[in-house]
Amino acid sequence: MTANPPIARPKLVLASASPRRLALMQQAGLDADALLPADIDETPHRGESPRAYATRIASEKAAAAAKLRATQPELKESFLIAADTVVAVGRRILPKAETREEAEECLRLLSGRQHRVYSAVSLITPRGHERKRLVEARLRFKRLGSTEIEAYLSTGEWRGKAGGYAIQGRAGVFLVKIVGSYTAVVGLPLHETVSLLAGEGYPVLAPWFAMA
């Protein structure tokens, strides 16, 4: 049997330095050729809904990274992926916790109740066109006791995490129910990301053949 010939793969850029987003891409067989984390103002606009906020921030990250891409000739023909994940209770957008106090406030708010996670993906094609998707997941945490909250805070997993928790870490034991994409909650909805890339002609399955 003749082996499948190798397929020329365009370069792929991730507009993030997040280890979890990078790991999710690698899970799908997507290797980032460059990381271009975007430094933007992530302050929500007054009255902005969580859905609109997630979509806007993903687009702004993508636009900022695209400007950096333009300064690097070797990345000129690359595909660029940016994403943002938002944890919300009703219309309230929870912060990406930077202090123990912020994380504790988030956990006490999430205790025993349902919340939503919105994960937006923005794809910038080599020609500069943008394609976007927004994914919503509903989650419910168990009622958390003070000892459980203190124990989780002591792990430090909450630092920089939307809603003050990382579902792929120890906070997974708090999860009673999830309706929607688990990978979206972690930080990058794989089905939607791969669909966007494939729709623009990126050979997403080529690395799978190379494993045979």
Structure-block tokens of residue 4: 């499948």
Please answer whether residues 108 and 143 qualify as being in contact, where contact means their C-beta atoms are separated by less than 8 angstroms: no
- Active-site annotation holds for 84: yes
Q: Which of 31, 39, 41, 84 is catalytic?
A: 84
| Distance in angstroms (rounded) separating the CA atoms of residues 159 and 59 | 24
Helical ranges in 111-205 per DSSP H: 146-155, 182-186, 190-199
CB atoms within 10 A of CB 184: 27
Structure-block tokens of residue 138: 């509903």
User: In whole angstroms, how far apart are CA 24 and each of 1, 19, 27, 88, 194?
Assistant: 32, 9, 5, 22, 11
Return the H-helix or E-strand segment holding 210: helix 206-210
Catalytic residues: 84
